[in-house]
Amino acid sequence: MNSLRYLIPYLRPYRRKIIWGCVAAVFSTSLGAVGPWVMKLAIDELHGNISGARLAEYAGLIIALWLVSGIFRYFMRMELIGMSRYVERDLRDRVFAHLQSQPLEYYTRNRTGDLMARMTNDLDSVRNVLGPGFMYPVDTMLTALFSLILMLMISWKLTLITLLLTPLVSWSVYKLGKVTHQLTTDIQEQYSKLSDQAQENLSGARVVRAFSQERQERAKFDGLNQEYVRRNLAMTKVQALFFPLMGFFFEAGTAVILLIGGMSIMRSEMSLGDFVAFVGYLGMLAWPMIAIGWVANLLQRGAASMKRIQELLNTAPAIISPANGGTPTHRHGEITFEDVTFAYGDRAPILKNINLHISAGQTIAFVGPTGGGKTTLINLIPRLLDPTSGRVRIDGVPTTEWEIRALRENVAMVPQDAFLFSDTVYNNLIFGRPGVGTEEAMSAARTSRIDKDVEQFADGYETLVGERGVTLSGGQKGRLALARALVRDPLILILDDALSAVDTHTEEEILSGLRRFMQNRTSILISHRVSTVREADCIYVIDNGEIVEHGTHDDLLGQNGYYADMERRQRLEEELELEV
């Protein structure tokens, strides 16, 4: 339950709503508590000579009391439940912003489905604590307070008998609450697994169908779903035990009150009106007794969920802007790697003592076996990752001293697996620079050779590309992602095998336009095609995290190493294709 204290700072901006909600609760509950007392007066007058008009007055007063009480109850709900919605919004914004600040490495350690569950299901449980979980305790405490005061005014003996049940209720809530907390944690964890499985399956829908794994995936999901149901049923058993137990305590109390109160009436120690009013207030106490269990469940669920959200928020971003970070006055695009080593956690290093200098305006290329460390190396430039040891400098300034936003605004990357948003072609095109002029955006589209394809679409640049660009081919996605990077007008352009999905003829057309764009810009190409990198100023072969060869295209052919072997294989493949 200590985790709920974390919410206090989020409540402070809404102090007024909480105060007005509590004020409305006081008026609503106090007016509602007067109703049984009016009933008592009316019943006691029935023994005398009461007129129909007098009875109508009592009836009208009871209706008026409940009507005004209902109005205050409306405002109580609007203020307190509304407050919970605002806090939920603030928390969700905070969680989303926190996730945005995390480096790439964070997402290799955490499942997307689990993160989504914390942003949705867990936040919903926390909102229930702040809304119903806050409102109902306030309401029930006030109801219990006013009811007990008026019950004491009627009969302190019967009130004392009623209070004797309180320790039993408290003990039951305490015992069952401990069980509920653990069950809630188990349920939330299983929900995360279920969400992760669903998210992964939907994202990989093409692969699942291509390999005819629908039945196996359904079985896997069904197993997780069955476990989720089992854990919820375990919670249901606890809840099913709680409410009858509370009901038994209430009915037992009512039976005792009926016996003792009835005898008091027979002895003329209590009027019938007193007895009816007392039973009415006892009925009002039934709701607090029932609400205790429901609210206890909400609190346990909320505490377990808040703990999971805290775990997420307490994970400090590994990559942050320095306190006095900034942007160098003179920016040219010079890049230097100094004894750079990188490893994920305790795993073996992916990069080993990389020393490399890239002059401003130079075009260099990285080639080498898959998994050699090329992509990891370029991810260090915009600080998507930080070196385990060593440093990366841009224009002589370590990247750790740059303001992150300023650094990344000067770098544009096009990954091999191009990601597009579920939006229009045009909005994807200008994603990195929303205020760009239309002509500049169209120029980038022409350079990447995506313009001719877009002209064939029914809605042109307003065509929706679907989730992750599902309506486009692999080559179209790659070219649109390339155009998006060009629109950014970067100081440093990085293409990570971005042209692998296009044919060699289209690749040559794109490269022809890119060479003009890359003039006076620092450009880095990663490719498994010699045709892509052959005109680079310097080509580096990276294998097993180390630079094993470097030089121009002709230099590397003369070294007769990995690059020369790659060139021979590709030339042979081209010759065979021509013969066919």
Assign 294 to helix, strand or coil: helix
Looking at residues 554-574, what average pLDDT do you find? 89
Mean pLDDT of 105-129: 83
DSSP letters along 76-113, please?
HHHHHHHHHHHHHHHHHHHHHHHHHTS-HHHHHHS-HH
Cα 15 to chain center, whole Å? 26
Query: CATH topology for 325-410+493-548?
Result: Rossmann fold (3.40.50)
- Pick from 20-34, 311-325, 424-438 the range whose average pLDDT is largest: 20-34
Rounded Cα distance between 501 and 523, Å, is 20
Tell me the DSSP string of 132-200.
HHHHHHHHHHHHHHHHHHHHHHH-HHHHHHHHTTHHHHHHHHHHHHHHHHHHHHHHHHHHHHHHHHHHH
Average pLDDT over residues 400-404: 89
Backbone φ and ψ for 50, nearest 5 degrees, come out as -95, 140
Give me the pLDDT at residue 315, please. Answer: 85
Q: Does domain 418-489 have CATH number 3.40.50.300?
A: yes
What are the residue ranges spanned by the domains of the chain? Answer: 2-313, 325-410+493-548, 418-489
- Asked if pLDDT for residue 569 goes beyond 70, the answer is yes
Q: Taking 60 as the threshold, does the pLDDT of residue 258 lie above it?
A: yes
Please state, in angstroms and rounded to a whole number, the distance separating the CA atoms of residues 117 and 18: 28
Write a three-state SS string for 374-405.
HHHHHHCCCCCCCCCEEEEEECCEEHHHECHH
Give the residue-averaged pLDDT of 320-345.
84
Stronger pLDDT, 243 or 440, i.e. the higher one:
440
* pLDDT exceeds cutoff 70 at 532: yes
- Which of the two residues, 108 and 571, has the higher pLDDT score? 571
Q: What is the mean pLDDT of residues 167-186?
A: 74
Average pLDDT over residues 281-296: 74
Superfamily of domain 2-313 in the CATH hierarchy? ABC transporter type 1, transmembrane domain (1.20.1560.10)
Mean pLDDT of 532-542: 92
Q: Which of 192-206, 271-285, 386-400, 522-536 has the lowest mean pLDDT?
A: 192-206
Q: pLDDT higher for 182 or 441?
A: 441
By C-alpha distance, which of 530, 436, 66 is closest to 280?
A: 66
Residues near 213 by beta carbon (within 8 Å), at least 6 away in sequence: 207
Q: In what order do the strands lie in the sheet with 335-342?
A: 351-358, 335-342, 389-394, 397-398
Greatest mean pLDDT among 55-64, 322-331, 548-557 lies in 548-557
* Band (453; pLDDT cuts 50, 70, 90): confident
User: Comparing 396-400, 532-536, 572-576, which segment has the lowest mean pLDDT?
Assistant: 572-576
| pLDDT value of position 538 | 94
Q: How many Cβ atoms are within 10 Å of 267's Cβ, its own excluded?
A: 8
- Which whole number is the average pLDDT over 129-154? 86
Q: Is the pLDDT of residue 94 over 70?
A: yes
Residue 129: C-alpha distances to residues 15, 25, 236, 313 (Å)? 16, 17, 19, 19
Q: Residue 42 has what pLDDT?
A: 85
Q: At what angle do helices 504-517 and 438-447 cross, to 10 degrees?
A: 130
**Other residues' Cβ atoms within 10 Å of the Cβ of residue 437:** 11
Asked if 325-410+493-548 and 418-489 have one fold, the answer is yes
Residue 340 predicted with pLDDT over 90: yes
Query: For 253-395, where are the E strands, in sequence order?
Result: 335-342, 351-358, 363-367, 389-394
pLDDT value of residue 301: 80
pLDDT of residue 206: 64
Q: Residue 468 above 80 pLDDT? A: no
DSSP 419: -
Average pLDDT for residues 521-529, to the nearest whole number? 90
Label residue 547 by pLDDT band (50, 70, 90). Answer: very high
Other beta carbons less than 10 A from residue 8's beta carbon = 8
pLDDT tens readout for residues 487-506: 988 899 999 888 777 777 77
- Which residue in the block uniquely carries the two structure tokens 């995290």? 545
Contact between 557 and 563 (Cβ < 8 Å): yes
The mean pLDDT value for 549-556 works out to: 92
pLDDT greater at residue 326 or residue 104: 104
CA 87 to chain CA centroid, nearest Å: 15
pLDDT-derived band at 39 (thresholds 50, 70, 90) equals confident
Query: For residues 430 and 421, is the Cβ–Cβ distance under 8 A?
Result: no
Average pLDDT in the 315-319 region?
83
pLDDT, position 580 = 56
pLDDT > 90? residue 327: no
Q: What is the C-alpha to C-alpha distance for residues 203 and 217, in angstroms, rounded to an integer?
A: 13
Residue 501's CB is within 10 A of a number of other CB atoms, namely 18
**Res 71 pLDDT > 90:** yes
Q: How far apart are the first and last CA of the chain?
A: 73
As given in the structure block, the two tokens for residue 31 are 């007016």
Q: How confident is the model at residue 465 (pLDDT cuts 50, 70, 90)?
A: confident
Contact 29, 84 (CB under 8 A): no
Contact 506, 478 (CB under 8 A): no
| Residue 455 burial (10 A CB sphere; 0-12, 13-18, 19+) | exposed
As a whole number, the mean pLDDT across the chain is 85
Q: What pLDDT is recorded for position 156?
A: 86
The whole-number pLDDT of residue 113 equals 77
